[in-house]
């Protein structure tokens, strides 16, 4: 058992010859982490309580935030902060979810939905959204840490860190807890097809990206090339992280047509299986929906019929037909 004031630091960095953890506000020298199998570095460091800010030092001179940082209080270029995932006092222990087919979804952007632009500032409006608008679920546009303060959200780079100026991890947990108290489900929009350009330091740690494929927004994620096993684990762990630590009810996967994986088991199949198993363990429905422009039934076909087994697929055909009708464009 780890001492409550100790922190386990673990990072996948096969591209680095050495990794140290630098405690930013401490007079201790950076501590060399022990190399483990598969390119991981790990050590348990005493006297590192929650709130401690840190960075990883690669090859003695490259300082980078933690790729799996739970909190980036100074943004994408700043240090990471140690977070105790057990510290938040949840009140939704009786929440058992609602059936996915009953979702009436209100999609919102946290930074622009209220003047303060925070997670907690949404809470006073939940009653209105449920009773007056008539929704049963809110969908948060991506909140993984991005550059700036009012980012669109689709170029996040710290996939495990809720946006600091929105209120960070505790702010998001407070919102989800309040939604469940109102009987509302919460969907998170997540982006697993690319990362944004600014603050994207993953390539300094390992082969997270590939040049075998291209996306319109940035380098494609390495889901099927050399050393892709740990990349796949990283992304699947991120999906499970939102379900377990933030009690989310569903994930909406952005633009899965730009997720390229020609391996034996597609990452969408692997991720869907892991998320559904998590829901079974938690005793509540947890669902995955995918945005795709392929009109490919395989995304939602059962695994028994060689599908990926996701729960739903966003269909943009109505939008495209209406746009064509109104504008005359044929693209």
Question: Distance (Å, rounded) from C-alpha 199 to C-alpha 75?
Answer: 9
Instruction: Assess whether 254 carries a catalytic annotation.
Output: yes
Q: What is the 3 state secondary structure string of the chain?
A: CCCCCCEEEEEECCCCCCEEEEECCCCCCCEECEECHHHEEEEEECCCCCCCEEEEEECCCEEECCCCCCCCCCCCCCCEECCCCCCCCCCCCCCCCCCHHHCCEEEECHHHHCCCCCCHHHHHHHHHHHHHHCCCEEEECCCEECCCCCCCCCCCCEEEEECHHHCHHHHHHHHHHHHHHCCCEEEEEECCCCCCCCCCCHHHCCCCEEEEEECCCCEEECCCCCCHHHHHHHHHHHHHHHHHHHCCCEEEECCHHHCCCCCCCCHHHHHHHHHHHHHHHHCCCCEEEEECCCCCHHHCCCHHHCCCCCCEEECCHHHHHHHHHHHCCCC
Question: Distance (Å, rounded) from C-alpha 271 to C-alpha 278?
Answer: 11
Instruction: Assess whether 296 carries a catalytic annotation.
Output: no
Q: Are 284 and 180 in contact (CB under 8 A)?
A: no
Q: Are 65 and 156 in contact (CB under 8 A)?
A: no
Catalytic residue among 66, 254, 261, 270: 254
Active site residues: 254, 291
């Amino acid at each position: 058992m780890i001492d409550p004031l100790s922190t386990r630091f673990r990072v996948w960095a096969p591209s680095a010859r050495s990794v140290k953890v630098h405690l930013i506000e401490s007079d201790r020298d950076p501590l060399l982490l022990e190399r483990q199998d598969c390119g991981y570095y790990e050590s348990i460091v005493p006297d590192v309580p929650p709130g401690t800010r840190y960075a990883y030092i690669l090859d003695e001179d490259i300082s980078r935030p933690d790729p799996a940082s739970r909190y980036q209080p100074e943004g994408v270029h700043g240090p990471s902060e140690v977070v105790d995932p057990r510290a938040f006092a949840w009140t939704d222990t009786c929440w058992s979810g609602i059936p996915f087919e009953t979702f009436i979804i209100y999609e919102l952007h946290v930074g622009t939905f209220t003047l303060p632009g925070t997670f907690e500032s949404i809470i006073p409006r939940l009653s209105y959204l449920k009773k007056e608008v008539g929704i049963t679920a809110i969908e948060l546009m991506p909140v993984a840490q991005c550059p700036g303060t009012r980012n669109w959200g689709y170029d996040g780079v710290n996939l495990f860190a809720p946006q600091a100026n929105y209120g960070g991890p505790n702010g998001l947990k407070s919102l989800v807890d309040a939604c469940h108290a109102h009987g509302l489900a919460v969907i998170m929009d997540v982006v697993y097809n690319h990362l944004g350009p600014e603050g994207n330091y993953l390539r300094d740690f390992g082969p997270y990206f590939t040049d075998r494929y291209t996306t319109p927004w940035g380098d494609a994620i390495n889901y099927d090339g050399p050393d892709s096993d740990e990349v796949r684990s990283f992304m699947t762990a991120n999906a499970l992280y939102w379900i377990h630590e933030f009690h989310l009810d569903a994930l909406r996967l952005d633009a899965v047509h730009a997720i390229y994986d020609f391996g034996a088991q597609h990452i969408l199949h692997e991720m869907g299986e892991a998320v559904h198993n998590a829901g079974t363990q938690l005793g509540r429905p947890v669902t995955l929906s995918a945005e795709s422009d392929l009109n490919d039934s395989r995304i939602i076909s059962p695994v028994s019929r060689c599908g990926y087994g996701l729960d739903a697929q966003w269909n943009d055909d109505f939008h495209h037909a209406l746009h064509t009708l109104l504008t005359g464009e044929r693209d």
